[in-house]
């Protein structure tokens, strides 16, 4: 009989197992560097893990981040995961309860997976959520055909070459909470390529990060654009500026299902529309206050584990 123990903020080695397992079984898009980023840039961060006793062999996890703002603290829960061979044995629920005890009466958000969403609602009070689900769309690189002609009204630059105040201002039109610190760290992550799109007058019309994640996948996280026309230019530039982009397996978006443009965007880059595969992925759930998001501009969430947009 295997015995278990709980470790809070375990060594990086445990995190790297989580990155790989969650990519293999759930297509989650984490990176080895995310753990350090969360620990250093949230006001407080907990990665609660269950390991096989006396080892660093991962069994289950859940993470909790606290970000303080003018509107108080917002907590977010992510990485709730149990190895397939240990599911249903009672490892998950107690660690989830542990982080909920820390959350207390504060507002808390999580991306509720399809199978779990109703339980979070009924058991833990994550009962404020929009009518739509977030969808996951993926396109294999072998099925990509770059659009030959895209709009000439826009051009893109690497994020570090644009006016950073203007970029921060744009981000506040997407996320009403101030997340400058974490997004700046996000742009500086390894294997992350961020470009900003502007119109002829120089006004920012969106930005996107292409992240190289486990299993040779390219995850667009985040990707925001004021229009499909701008999104098309941005995606083309992100791909073309990445050396050897064709050697990766897939390119992926996670977006609010009420916005049809992200799917149209991937279809514009596909040899056939059927090449894009789409599934229901998660729902943005809150305990106290549902924070609004400009869904029409959201082509992909940023950090799917700890950001709600």
Interface with ligand COA (CB under 6 A)? 26, 60, 80-82, 87-93, 96, 112-113, 115-116, 119-120, 123-124
Q: How far apart are CB 98 and ligand COA at their closest, in Å?
A: 11
The set of residues, in sequence order, having a beta carbon less than 8 Å from that of 43 and lying 6+ positions away, is 66, 67, 68, 73
Query: Which residue lies nearer to ligand COA by CB, 46 or 80?
Result: 80
Q: How far apart are CB 279 and ligand COA at their closest, in Å?
A: 13
Q: How far apart are CB 28 and ligand COA at their closest, in Å?
A: 8
Q: And the tokens for 94? A: 């107690």
Q: How far apart are CB 266 and ligand COA at their closest, in Å?
A: 24
Beta strands in the chain (DSSP E): 4-8, 44-52, 58-69, 72-82, 107-113, 134-140, 154-158, 192-199, 204-213, 217-225, 250-256, 276-286, 298-300
Q: How far apart are CB 305 and ligand COA at their closest, in Å?
A: 9
- CA triple 46-8-291, angle to 5 deg: 20
Q: Return the biggest CA–CA distance within the chain.
A: 67
Query: Which residue lies nearer to ligand COA by CB, 59 or 233?
Result: 59
Query: Which residue lies nearer to ligand COA by CB, 96 or 159?
Result: 96
Query: Which residue lies nearer to ligand COA by CB, 121 or 178?
Result: 121
Within 10 A of 4 (CB to CB), how many other CB atoms are there?
A: 15
Q: How far apart are CB 6 and ligand COA at their closest, in Å?
A: 13
Query: Which residue lies nearer to ligand COA by CB, 26 or 40?
Result: 26
Q: Which residue is closest to ligand COA by CB?
A: 92
Query: Which residue lies nearer to ligand COA by CB, 132 or 140?
Result: 132
Nearest to 253 by CA among 273, 229, 237, 277: 277
- CA triple 240-244-246, angle to 5 deg: 80
């Amino acid at each position: 009989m295997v015995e278990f123990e709980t470790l809070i903020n375990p060594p990086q080695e445990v995190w790297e197992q989580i990155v790989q397992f969650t990519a293999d079984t759930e297509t989650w898009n984490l990176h080895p560097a995310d753990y350090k980023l969360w620990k250093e840039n949230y006001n407080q961060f907990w990665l609660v893990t269950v390991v096989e006793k006396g080892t660093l062999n991962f069994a289950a996890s859940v993470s909790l981040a606290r970000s303080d703002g003018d509107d108080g603290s917002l907590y977010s829960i992510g990485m709730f995961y149990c190895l397939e061979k240990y599911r249903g044995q009672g490892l998950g629920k107690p660690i989830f309860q542990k982080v909920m005890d820390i959350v207390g009466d504060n507002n808390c958000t999580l991306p509720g997976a399809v199978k779990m969403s109703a339980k979070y609602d009924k058991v833990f009070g994550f009962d404020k959520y929009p009518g739509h689900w977030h969808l996951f769309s993926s396109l294999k690189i072998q099925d990509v055909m770059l659009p030959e002609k895209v709009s000439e009204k826009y051009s893109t630059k690497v994020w570090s070459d644009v006016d950073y105040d203007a970029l921060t201002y744009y981000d506040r039109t997407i996320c009403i909470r101030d997340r400058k610190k974490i997004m700046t760290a996000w742009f500086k992550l390894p294997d992350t390529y961020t470009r900003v799109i502007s119109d002829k007058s120089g006004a920012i019309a969106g930005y996107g990060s292409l992240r190289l994640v486990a299993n040779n996948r390219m995850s667009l996280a985040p990707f925001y654009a004021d229009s499909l026309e701008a999104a098309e230019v941005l995606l083309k530039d992100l791909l073309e500026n990445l050396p050897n982009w064709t050697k990766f397996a897939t390119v992926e978006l996670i977006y609010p299902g009420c916005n049809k443009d992200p799917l149209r965007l991937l279809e514009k880059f596909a040899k056939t529309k059927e090449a894009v595969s789409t599934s229901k992925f998660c729902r943005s759930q809150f305990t106290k206050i549902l924070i609004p998001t400009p869904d029409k501009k959201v082509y992909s969430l940023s950090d799917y584990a700890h950001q709600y947009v």
